[in-house]
Amino acid sequence: MEYIDCATCEQHMNSFIENKLVGEMLWQFLTHVEKCPDCFEELETRYLIAEALGRLENGEVINLRNELAQKIRVTKRAMYFHYFNEDILRVFEIISMIIIVYEVFGFLSDFFGIVF
């Protein structure tokens, strides 16, 4: 997979802040920002300004620095879950089938006094 450079990352910062970045570009953006201190700092500044301006009107007391870190974490986790969701579900299905089989056998052996 090719990763975006700093210039491309910067182009997408405002879209990210406005929650308009999606899919592959969002994933690449988050991956870059996590690895690139310069871009993270730039994003942090933009985020703080954008959010602070919005919140000033509401008079909210906030910890924006933590919120940005959380926004990155939550978004990436949600994307990770989205991408690997199907594999995880399949694993859970298999596990629950094993448990059901195990319980049925356990029930039969209790009921009939049979040891499997």
Residues of this chain that bind Zn ion (CB under 5 A): 6, 9, 36, 39
- Residue 15, SS3? helix
Q: At its nearest, how many Å lie between Zn ion and the CB of residue 37?
A: 8
- Please say which residue, 2 or 57, places its beta carbon nearer to Zn ion: 2
Exposure b/e, 47-67, CB count within 10 A at least 16 = b: beeebeeeeeeeeeeeebeee
Rounded to whole angstroms, the Cα distance separating 17 from 74 reads: 14
- Provide CB contacts within 8 A for 39, sequence distance 6+: 6, 9, 10, 13, 32, 33
Closest separation in Å from C-beta 35 to Zn ion: 8
Q: Cβ closer to Zn ion: 36 or 64?
A: 36
For the bound state, the minimum distance from the C-beta of residue 71 to Zn ion, rounded and expressed in Å, comes to 18
Q: Which of 41, 103 has the CB closer to Zn ion?
A: 41
